[in-house]
Amino acid sequence: MSVTKEQVMEQLKTVMDPELGKDLVTLNMIKNVALCDGMARITVELTTPACPLKDKISFDVKKAVTQLDGISMCEVEFTAQVKPSPQQQAQDANPLPNVKHVIAVGAGKGGVGKSTISVNLAVGLARAGAKVGLLDGDIYGPSLPTMLGLDDLETHTAGGNMIMPFEVHGIKSMSIGKLVDPDKPLIWRGPMAHGAFNQLATQTQWGELDYLVIDMPPGTGDVPLTLAQLLPLTGAVVVCTPQKVAQDDARRAVRMFQQLQVPILGIVENMSYFIGNDGVEYDIFGKGGSQAMAHQMEVPYLGGVPINMRLRANSDNGNPTANFDDDAQLGAELDAFVKNLAGQVSIQVHKTQAQTPTISIS
């Protein structure tokens, strides 16, 4: 007797999404089951193209389906549909209705690599297949023109009072650094900072985006407050270096976002360690402190990015794509962080949906 699609679906109820804690059928992730001569082809829809669990899900689906008598081979094909955050859908006057997730990248203090992490997060998500924007919200010290190589590009308006984002390295981007004289110091009083950030975020023609990554100013000033009031944030990433003093600052940044009701998507440890030419790992600043802090604060740990000369050089040269293409180990480390973050966004959506009460009217 040949196997039916219903039997395959029944069997797929035994395959769990390990992050979301439910089976693939309940999560409505099985989009197609095709059967032919003992061969099954299953189409699984992921919640992000940068899913960290693709390989595991593929393995588990194949294992479950080939357990059925009459199926000797199983192929798994993936599609991805980023679901918007419930906060984004719930906000009546959302100034960016076509952006599914707004992700803030913050740090307790400057110089820890917040802009570097923001850039590589945005480029990494885009390389996985997502539509990504990157906003230089660090209005006091914009780094994106250098890190993305925007210096020689002209700014274009898009009609009305809108401005076109720059499209480089597979992402859309905007920076105050392209709108003001780069040699003048950027001094903003509170209300001016609020206005500048607001204009950058809402008057850029972003179009449809899966993720808008925002490189925040360091510390706990006015801009995070403006951001939390203005845009429905899915969550925040806090960048930290391993030293104890850096963690004290990062802890304050985490508490600030929590006070603003912004979920913490995770902590990333930058400059985590260094691998010398001898292949030996040197923990210059004492690797692992951020992970311990994340554990203690009960927030996710997203991984560590090593000190890497190429990363610094590629940032100075405005070529972040090279971080992924030219150094296999660095690319893999960045990819792991990017995927962990994308996974946390999906978990956040799932958690918020589960918490949102539904009202049925009969």
**How many Å apart are CA 218 and CA 111, to the nearest integer?**
9
Determine if 347 is a binding residue for ligand ADP (CB under 6 A): no
Pick between residue 196 and residue 216 the one whose CB is nearest to ligand ADP.
216
**How many Å apart are CA 124 and CA 321, to the nearest integer?**
9
> Of 261-290, which residues contact ligand ADP (CB under 6 A)?
270-271
Pick between residue 40 and residue 227 the one whose CB is nearest to ligand ADP.
227
Query: With contact defined as beta carbons under 8 Å apart, do 339 and 50 qualify?
Result: yes
Pick between residue 129 and residue 219 the one whose CB is nearest to ligand ADP.
219
Pick between residue 8 and residue 268 the one whose CB is nearest to ligand ADP.
268
How many residues interact with ligand ADP (rule CB under 6 A)? 18
Pick between residue 51 and residue 150 the one whose CB is nearest to ligand ADP.
150
- Of the candidates 226, 134, 219, 141, which has an alpha carbon nearest to the alpha carbon of residue 180? 141
Determine if 315 is a binding residue for ligand ADP (CB under 6 A): yes
Which of 23, 56, 78, 110 is close enough to bind ligand ADP by CB under 6 A?
Answer: 110
Determine if 113 is a binding residue for ligand ADP (CB under 6 A): yes
**How many Å apart are CA 346 and CA 48, to the nearest integer?**
7
Stretch that binds ligand ADP, among 2-10, 304-312, 320-328, 354-362 (CB under 6 A): 304-312
- Of the candidates 117, 34, 26, 110, which has an alpha carbon nearest to the alpha carbon of residue 71? 34
Determine if 107 is a binding residue for ligand ADP (CB under 6 A): yes
Which of 302, 305, 334, 341 is close enough to bind ligand ADP by CB under 6 A?
Answer: 305
Q: How far is CA 221 from the centre of its chain?
A: 23
Determine if 221 is a binding residue for ligand ADP (CB under 6 A): no
**How many Å apart are CA 217 and CA 177, to the nearest integer?**
13
Q: Which residues are CB-neighbours of 199 under 8 A, at least 6 positions away?
A: none
> Of 117-176, which residues contact ligand ADP (CB under 6 A)?
143
Pick between residue 46 and residue 264 the one whose CB is nearest to ligand ADP.
264
**How many Å apart are CA 52 and CA 230, to the nearest integer?**
30
**How many Å apart are CA 315 and CA 145, to the nearest integer?**
10
**How many Å apart are CA 76 and CA 57, to the nearest integer?**
9
Query: Which residues sit at the interface with ligand ADP, rule CB under 6 A?
Result: 107, 110-116, 143, 218, 270-271, 305, 307-308, 311-312, 315
